[in-house]
Chain A
Amino acid sequence: MRTINQFFSKIREINQRYAKPTVEMSRGVKFSLAVLRVYLFLLVVLMVYKFITVINVV
């Protein structure tokens, strides 16, 4: 139990340490990150769709 608590407190510490991005958030950077989010979202949708299709076949 103690180890699990230590692990989660470490995660919280990491999240706090890296809470604020240091890269300058120019329009180019913001645009790139937004496109990346959309791209990854679409990929996840495709993977979930494939997973559901496979499950239905089985």
Chain B
Amino acid sequence: MDFFSLLYYRFKKVWKAVRLYLVIAGPGLVVMIADNDAGGITTYAATGAKYGYHLIWFLLLLIPVAYYVQEMTVRLGAVTKRGHAEAIFESFGAFWGWFSLLDLMIVDWLTLVTEFVGMTAALSIFGVPAWLTVILVVLLMSIIVLNGRYWTWEKIALGFCLLNLIYIPAAFMVNPSIADIANHGLIPNLPGGLTNELFFLLMANIGTTIAPWMLFFQQSSVVDKGLQEKDIKMGKIDTFIGAIITVAIAIFIVIVTGTLLNGAPIDDAATAAKLLMKTNHYVGAFMAVGLFDAGLLGAICISLASSWAFGEIFGWAHSLNTKVKEAPWFYISFIFTLITAGVVPLIPGAPLVLITLFVQVVAVTLLPAALVFLILLLNDKKTMGEYANTRFQNIISSVIVGSIIILSTMYGVSALFPNIFQ
């Protein structure tokens, strides 16, 4: 075989793999990028404003953390063809099943409220009233979901994922010092020592990287998309690329706020956008658009995670490939969750701070349980066969899950008792 034939053969092989990836890509990318939801953007903006580029190295560590946890849901979904809620019910019985389902419902609804808070705050910067934002979002999300095809929904969601990359041009527009990023950001360091404030922010970054709804969403999404065992490899690549993109976006947000708002007190991403507008109008506008998009993506995935889980357990038709007539309860639960959560930010004097606090605490009750169930299910050789966790995977995932449980518990407890670790 001559050189050019070999080159052509290699190109055809790679192109075939790329095309296959493009068919299978979706659940991993969407879940990972949606992970940078309104709460996540706030956490990254606050991290950059408080500590500049100093914690970029820590964000890089979150790539394997997010990947190893989420790739387990790909295998579980592709092999069992069941969502996470159904898998817990069937494998561990009704007690743990109800506990997980009800906890998921509460966490998802509360998180959805925070997404609406983020979206209304983002568009208020452009003069859009909160009530109009809520109506537009509910209408837009209903249209996206009610089209009756998983593929269409996924492509639209991927379009919103693309918009999430808006932080990359924003970071270039603020002209950061590459030398400072490399010197301060890439070498592990704890600026000012491990203070209570720094510890809280590190835990918040971990908390926003792995959320309970992500496990339920990705597994159900893999099942709804119809991925098979043979697709697991590409599904894992999809998840890995998603993990890299989500952390890259987080780093670009840190660069933006670390460059322009270093030392400014940032309580939420909307405040960051307003402050950025005073320095650079376009960067501030990008921040606000990114916040709205993040809230929208988060809301799309979170409300679907709940509806899928309920459909699995109650035996309703629960696929995005079904029409409204064929799966009325699936769509009713989706829109009901959306509307009730969207109304909350419009209530004058609604306890939004308390809700944000409560999200962190309730998530701590669900996350450890969901992660422990995940590892136990991946060790069930009878069901998983050759796709069960290997010894190496068990060591890695146990260390990651153990660390997440300890840190998220400390995060939740410190949210309940703010002075406990001082």
Contacts and interface: CB of A to CB of B under 8 A. Distances in A.
Interface in A14-58: 14-15, 18-24, 28-29, 32-33, 36, 39-40, 43-44, 46-47, 50
Interface residues of B, number: 27
16 contacts: A10-B314, A14-B94, A18-B93, A19-B94, A20-B93, A22-B90, A23-B376, A23-B380, A24-B380, A28-B379, A32-B372, A33-B96, A36-B372, A39-B368, A43-B364, A44-B365
B413 interface: yes
Nearest to B99: A40
Given A23-B376, A46-B416, 9 more contacts: A10-B314, A18-B89, A21-B92, A21-B93, A23-B377, A39-B368, A39-B409, A43-B365, A43-B409
Interface string B355-399: 000000100110011001000110110100000000000000000
For the residues of B in contact with A, the DSSP-based class is helix
A36 B368 contact: yes
Contact of A14 (B313, B409, B413): B313
B332 to A, nearest CB: 14
A47 B380 contact: no
B97 A18 contact: yes
Nearest to B375: A32
B416 A50 contact: yes
Given A10-B314, A14-B314, A23 B92 contact: yes
Contacts of A14: 89, 94, 313-314
Chain A CB within 10 Å — which of B361, B413, B416 has the most?
B416
Chain B CB within 10 Å — which of A18, A32, A46 has the most?
A18
A33 B97 CA distance: 13
Interface of A: 10, 14-15, 18-24, 28-29, 32-33, 36, 39-40, 43-44, 46-47, 50
A40 B380 contact: no
B417 interface: yes
Contacts of A43: 364-365, 409, 412
Contact of A40 (B314, B365, B376, B417): B365
Contacts of A18: 89-90, 93-94, 97
Identify the 7 closest CB pairs spanning chains A and B, nearest first: A23-B91, A21-B93, A18-B89, A18-B94, A15-B94, A50-B416, A21-B92
B369 A36 contact: yes
B367 to A, nearest CB: 11
A51 B417 CA distance: 11
B418 to A, nearest CB: 11
Interface in B71-125: 89-94, 96-97, 99
A19 B93 contact: yes
A38 to B, nearest CB: 12
Contacts of A20: 93
B369 A22 contact: no
Contacts of B409: 39, 43
Contacts of B99: 40
Chain B CB within 10 Å — which of A14, A23, A36 has the most?
A23
Nearest to A51: B416
B298 to A, nearest CB: 25
B376 A32 contact: yes
A50 B417 contact: yes
Contacts of A19: 93-94
